[in-house]
Amino acid sequence: MSIVTKEEGVAVFLAAIPEMSRAELLAQWLKDHGRPAPKGISRRLLEYSTAYEAQVRAFGGLKPATKRKLDRIATQPRDKIETGISKKPAKRLTPGARLMREWHGRTHHVEVTEDGYRHDGAIYGSLSEVAREITGARWSGPRFFGL
């Protein structure tokens, strides 16, 4: 007689989920969540939920700190959610400012004008256009010039 590991048992159950009827998936939802599934829930979501709950039962769920963080995010207004991405105000370049960048042994100078950016006698509408002209590739102009 062979011993079935927890991992193997879960794998077998997960493999059987696509073959379950909608009624079986709805019954599993009721068992997992203690209440009926929302009306109109898709089969795909029923399958995902069933798979997730089986893995939680076998291996454990989210850490309490992660649950608290998710709860906090769920209850915050959308504009107040901290993503960890700092939003620095965009730097404004005033006409007369000069930018300099060395690229492949050549120093490039760009002057900020009222009409755009002057480089090698030509006027460009954005720093990205200047960076593209210099490198031949699609660069972010502010990033290329270190802004």
Q: What's the confidence (pLDDT) of residue 75?
A: 86
Element (H, E) at 127: helix 127-135
Q: Same domain, yes or no, for 72 and 10?
A: yes
Residue-range definition of the domain harbouring residue 54: 6-78
End-to-end alpha carbon distance in the chain: 68
Give the whole-angstrom CA distance, residue 40 versus residue 75: 25
DSSP assignment of 60-85, as one string?
----HHHHHHHHHHHHS-GGG---S-
Tell me, yes or no, whether 70 lies in a domain. yes
Q: Same domain, yes or no, for 63 and 105?
A: no
Q: Same domain, yes or no, for 74 and 102?
A: no
Nearest to 12 by CA among 33, 30, 22, 2: 2
Q: What's the confidence (pLDDT) of residue 87?
A: 59
pLDDT tens over the chain, length 147 residues: 556 578 888 899 999 999 999 999 999 999 999 999 999 999 999 999 999 999 998 888 889 999 899 998 888 877 666 665 555 665 678 888 898 888 888 888 899 988 889 998 889 888 899 889 888 888 888 888 887
